[in-house]
Amino acid sequence: MKINKLAVSGIALAGITLASGFAASTAWAATSSYKTAPTYIDVNGTNVSNPQHVVAKDPWGGQETTWVPIYYLQQALKQMGFQTMWNGTDLTFTKYPSNWKFNVALGNPEAIPVVAPKGQMQISLVNSGPPSMNLPKMIEQDPASGVNTTYVPIYYLDTVLTHDFNMGATWNGAGNKWNLIPQSKDTSNSVITKTSYSSASAANTQINDTQGSKTYLVFGQDSQTVNLGDGITSKEDAGLGHQGYQWQEGNWTVEVLYYTGNTGAKQIAENVVSYLHTHMLPAPNTKGVIIVSSTDPNSTTFKPNTTIAWQEGTNVYELQQAGDPIKALQTVVNSNN
């Protein structure tokens, strides 16, 4: 689903301040009536834990979503080289994996005071720094330990991990699998991964989840349009420090997303259009997404990371690559030859 959640939630990513009036008033207590199911938490495809997750309404988005105990998130992060501390209200990142590149959000005034409002927790991405963002939380009994513990929605965690730590994070609701993918030490020559699902519908859901975890704008029928050349008209949206373009190329949805301080985004979108005008991507069955995202809100230069994912029946193919999006497109085009 598209993020409209972030636009109303009060979460702040990479130093961008979002509306907090609604979020600050959210107070939510858990009950014992929530649905639970096993979760398969993987790190780079290897299973590391299988806690029970809770399915409950997101108090900010209004829809049912999946919540996991924060303890198991910490254990998965530890597998990747992170160290974190949890004090019941604040999750603080105290150490990062070596050789990773980050866009961590420093202190955000909407995550202050240090004591989070009732029904919320805070994340501090910089040790000894002020809180970086607020997230909804709930307290529920962990079936494994029998004690009450804090649960947090996977949706918001995916957004933090992908936007601030430039890593992969995908939730497969059909298989109850949460796969966390560490940064590659060399993303200039990435490989295409293939994941098989139980049905074409589950594969299609995964494509939607991939798009939803990376897209923070709403491109509607009333969006402004811009000509990108070669007969392509793109929708354009902006808000809360973000801007972007979205257009269709057959069964492919293409998005170029950037921060308002970045320059050159329109040229990148035009370059993508020009390349796709003369090169053939695989034909998705039934959907594909190309998402070119800025990774640095503090730079005037657009520093892109490209995600290309497409469905072929019950299979989903995906490429994540930093740098020039045309090189990422070339990788996929060449795989189709």
**Region 8-15: what's the mean pLDDT?**
39
pLDDT digits (tens, 9 = 90+) for 89-145: 899 999 888 777 776 655 555 555 556 778 889 888 877 777 778 899 999 988 888
pLDDT digits (tens, 9 = 90+) for 77-93: 999 999 999 999 899 99
**What is the SS3 assignment for 270?**
helix
Rounded to whole angstroms, how far apart are CA atoms 14 and 309? 24
Asked if the model's pLDDT at residue 69 lies above 90, the reply is yes
* Domain range summary for the chain, segments of one domain joined by +: 4-166, 193-335
Q: What angle do CA 10, 14, 17 make, to 5 degrees?
A: 35
pLDDT band at 30 (very low <50, low <70, confident <90, very high): very low
Q: What's the chain's length in residues?
A: 337
Q: Give the pLDDT score at 144.
A: 83
- Start-to-end C-alpha separation, the chain: 32
**What is the SS3 assignment for 49?**
strand
Average pLDDT score over the chain: 81
Closest CA to 136 of 124, 147, 146, 121: 121
Cβ(91)–Cβ(121) below 8 Å: yes
Sign (positive or negative) of CA dihedral 269, 271, 272, 277: positive
Asked if the model's pLDDT at residue 204 lies above 50, the reply is yes
Per cent of the chain over pLDDT 70 is 82
Supply the pTM of this predicted model. 0.54
**Region 248-275: what's the mean pLDDT?**
93
Q: What is the DSSP string of 157-205?
A: HHHHHHHHS--EEEEETTTTEEEEEPPPS-GGG---EEEE-SSHHHHHH
Cβ(184)–Cβ(307) below 8 Å: no
